[in-house]
Amino acid sequence: MSYNVSVAQGQFFDKVFALPVRIYYEDTDAGGIVYYANYLKFAERARTEYIRALGCTQSEALEEEKCGFTVRHVEIDYKRPARLDDELVITCELQEVKGAAAVMHQEVLRGDDVLATIEVKVAYINLVKLRPVRIPEWLKTRSLDD
């Protein structure tokens, strides 16, 4: 039997991409609070779906261009805890692109409450040569256009 069920894909609100995430038992510690490192997983999922929503998958970039994004630097400011069964939204907004580098601003939201802010610097690299390469023009154009 085949089931016709869609995966949570998120959507753009102007330049901000938003991905829904539910907190499961596996995401929490014994007290039902989200383990701090899981915020990085949620942010990574949002960045992946952001790229997919622009019309490309990371697997296509890997196969066709032998390139991909790697995190160079990340800063997280934890403001409030997320808890078991929370319904969150993880946002992703491209702030800056320079050559092979990009800066993304992300937030973890529960309703109107900001639970965490995340600033991520990524580099686009050739995975064969392990060297930075320019971020494709189509990605910059789609992400920064009004």
State the catalytic residues: 29
DSSP E strands, 6-100: 11-13, 16-22, 67-78, 87-98
| Alpha helices (H) in 54-146, listed in sequence order | 58-60, 137-144
Between CA 120 and CA 85 the distance in angstroms is 26
Between CA 39 and CA 46 the distance in angstroms is 11
Give the list of residues 6+ apart from residue 141 with CB closer than 8 angstroms, or none. none
Sign, CA dihedral 135-139-143-146, equals: positive
